Amino acid sequence: MNISATIKLFLPYGDATRLRTGEVSNWTGKALAAPRTDLELLLGRDELNNPGIYLLIGTDINKGNELAYIGEAEVIRERLKQHKDKDFWTSVIVFVSKDENLTKSHIRYLENRLLDEATKSGRYQLANINTSGSKLPESDREDMEVFLSRIRQMLPVLGSEILSPITGSLSVSSQKIKLFYCKNKGAVAIGHRTEKGFVVFKDSTAVLNERPSAEQQHPFVVAHRQKLIADKILVPKDDYYVFMKDTEFSSPSAAAAVIHGGGANGLTQWKDETGKSLKELEG
């Protein structure tokens, strides 16, 4: 269950793309985020003398996938200095405690939980996945789970969806979810709208071959399919490609085009169980 929150952002330089800080009412934590170009300004902040959690966000230069490194340190400033030699990251997000009550055990616990949730989310490739974790007394675990819930809320506000489920904020088992179906030449895909676009569910199928005209008329669709195949998200089975995981697309049309193997209007191709299209239902 989501907890309502009042979030306060401060822009020291009046620019939302530069160094910024974030706080949530009645939360002992504080967030700081900055592009790599503002790293020295970030390192100059007093908050970085404290223990905390940090995320380095960037892109895998070989695969083009979003890449993240999640770590912890007793003195955030010194650890971030050590990461200057990692060239993949373009931004950093830090979480510390305002009351200085985060211990080494606390931040190890948080690091382990963040890595676990980021792995389950599947949005980012992780540059590190191993952590020693930490065993905490039950009361401390509860405190850290509350701290983690605020981190979940802050991350999208600061520009990262690393912990956000690909299926969106609605559970697949929720009665509120509206399923849609896209069918073409025997291929059947199931999906639904999310806050970020449209998700096609695991085990959905797509046509095996692109349309003859796709290469010239819809090169983006062909490139998108090739990337999904290279990433083993689309795997050939019998006469179709099968989605091996829930997969997010920027729009219903982007999803339908991959399933069809060429350009497609997602508003008319995605239909509910009664046969009504997205266009009809959304007006």
The amino acid at residue 108 is R
How many Cα atoms sit within 13 Å of 182 on the Cβ side? 31
In whole angstroms, give the CA distance from residue 212 to residue 220. Answer: 14
pLDDT at residue number 135: 85
> What is the chain's alpha carbon radius of gyration, rounded to the nearest angstrom?
21
Give the length of the chain.
283
Confidence of residue 174 (pLDDT cuts 50, 70, 90): very low
Confidence of residue 1 (pLDDT cuts 50, 70, 90): low
Element housing 157 (H / E): helix 138-157
Q: What is the pLDDT of residue 172?
A: 44
HSE-CB at 250 with a 13 A cutoff on CA atoms is: 5
How far apart are alpha carbons 95 and 148 in whole angstroms? 10
Question: Residue 35 and residue 140: Cα distance in Å, rounded?
Answer: 32
Query: What predicted TM-score, i.e. pTM, was given to this entire model?
Result: 0.79
Complete DSSP assignment for 87-112: -SEEEEEEEEETTS---HHHHHHHHH
Give the SS3 label for residue 277: strand
- Whole-angstrom Cα distance, residue 74 to residue 53? 9
User: Beta partners for 191?
Assistant: 180, 200
Q: Which H helix or E strand runs over 254? A: helix 252-260
First to last CA, the chain: 31
The pLDDT of residue 251 is: 95
Domain ranges for the chain: 7-157, 180-282
H or E stretch including 67? strand 66-73
Average pLDDT, integer, range 255-281: 95
- Rounded to the nearest integer, the mean pLDDT of the chain is 92
Tens digit of each residue's pLDDT (9 = 90 or more) over 110-161: 999 999 999 998 889 999 877 667 789 999 999 999 999 999 999 999 999 9
DSSP 14: S
pLDDT of residue 168: 65
Confidence at residue 232, expressed as pLDDT on a 0 to 100 scale: 94
Is the pLDDT confidence value at 170 over 60? no
